[in-house]
Amino acid sequence: MRLNRLFGFCTSLAFVIAGANTAIAQQPESAPDSRQTIIVNAADEKARSLRPYEVTIAEKVFDRIEKGLSDQAVTWHPFLENAFRGGGFAAGAGYMFHPSAYTSLDVRGSYSIRSYKLGEAEFRSRRLFDRRAELTVLGGWRDATEVGFYGIGMNTSAGDRGNYGFEQPFGSALLTIRPTRRWLMVRGGFEASRWDLKSGQGTAPSLDQIYRPASPASLPGLGTTATYLHTQATAGFDWRPASGYARRGGFYAVTGHDYGDRDNALGFRRVDYEVIQHIPILRESWVVSLHGLAKTTWAKSDQDIPFYLLPSLGGGSNLRGFASHRFSDRHSLLLQAEWRIMANRFFDSAVFYDAGKVAARTSDLDLNHLKSDYGFGVRFHAPMVTVFRVDVARSNEGTQLVFAASPVF
């Protein structure tokens, strides 16, 4: 009897121990289920709180401008280019459509605060010759009413200004070829135009009141109408992402120009030497951009270079602290440096310094007695194009405010 009770007790104790071991063995397996449940619940709660990203008004505006300026859409678009340097702020519009996938036709016009007028149509065909070439055909008409001229050389005064005006119909074609699709670039083209000079408007006296046309002391080209066939050819290296806006890469090129006057009176040749280098810092958040440009001209036999086509410095794209066309002569040298700071994908600011000179002889294009300025600017841009630029520049002749719809370089 006692033996049976002992056997029953041992059996019960064995079942109790086995049950306890089973419970202990099963307890760790329930923990992962609990953690998984917590994770799933958290993910469900986060998914319920998610909302689609809402594009801001500013992003919509800049995206529309970017598509219009980079030929990505058939649309009306703003056109802020001036008819000629020195015309002041210009506003206008254009309409672009695409005859085919990689061609565009843009009809546009602008009017400036100084009554400069521009109307033109541009046809562009990209990806020619297996994406190695681009063709641009441009035709139009411009009217400039008060272009400034201060005399020839570096020793002129700001008070020497005289104004002239001109009307110019023009048509051109330009073919750019990249034989290797990168780096190497060659370009060639021609332009036919007629320069019809007229009296200048504005507060400064007209040039035909200062100089007597057709006299020995007159300016070559004053009071004339000249019809030109301008041909050009460029060879160089270009590894920038785009010429309209870049934060890296460079451009090194030589361009030859020939201006043939139909009357064989005002024909000349010009050679441009240009260097552009963008040096990115901190993953392109900062960029040091450098630019150098030298222009040299010489007249053809028994002909003169018209004063309005002499190389000149001053204005929104070179010596920004001086008035447009402030210095003119047969040869010019321009040096520029900018420290550009990228704020976001649409906006940059820049601190800049410009220096340059004009000279009657190429041997005088040295670093002595340069005119200079400095300043600060802001730029609104898309990935491949500068939409709008504002610069404030200071020189020994005062402060200049620049509005432009193109890059400095």
Distances (CA, A) of 30 to 33, 38, 167, 320: 5, 13, 89, 75
pTM score, whole prediction: 0.81
Instruction: List the Cα angle 270/272/273 in 5-degree steps.
Output: 150
190: helix, strand or coil: strand
CA atoms within a 13 Å half-sphere pointing along the CA-CB vector of 397: 19
- Cα–Cα distance, 323 to 314 (Å, whole number): 5
Which ranges constitute the DSSP H helices of 99-160? 128-131
* CA-atom Rg of the chain in angstroms: 34
pLDDT in tens, 213-268: 656 567 999 988 999 999 999 999 999 999 999 999 999 999 999 999 999 999 99
Per-residue model confidence as pLDDT tens for the chain (409 residues): 444 454 454 445 444 444 444 444 444 444 455 777 777 777 777 676 666 767 777 666 666 655 555 555 568 999 999 999 999 999 999 999 998 888 999 999 999 999 999 999 999 999 999 999 999 999 999 999 999 999 999 999 999 999 999 999 999 999 999 999 889 999 999 999 999 999 999 999 999 898 876 565 679 999 889 999 999 999 999 999 999 999 999 999 999 999 999 999 999 999 999 999 999 999 899 999 999 999 999 999 999 999 999 999 999 889 999 999 999 999 999 999 999 999 988 899 999 999 999 999 999 999 999 999 999 999 998 888 898 999 999 999 999 999 998 999 9
Q: Where are the domains of the chain?
A: 1-50, 65-70+129-404
Integer Cα distance of 348 and 341 in angstroms: 6
Angle at 337 between CA 335 and CA 342, to 5 degrees: 150
Give the ranges where 173-311 is alpha helix by DSSP (H): 207-210
How many Cα atoms occupy the beta-carbon half-sphere of 112 within 13 Å?
26
Pick the CATH number of 65-70+129-404 from 2.30.30.180, 2.40.160.50, 3.20.20.140, 3.40.50.1980: 2.40.160.50
Q: How many other C-beta atoms are found inside a 10 Å radius of the C-beta of residue 259?
A: 24
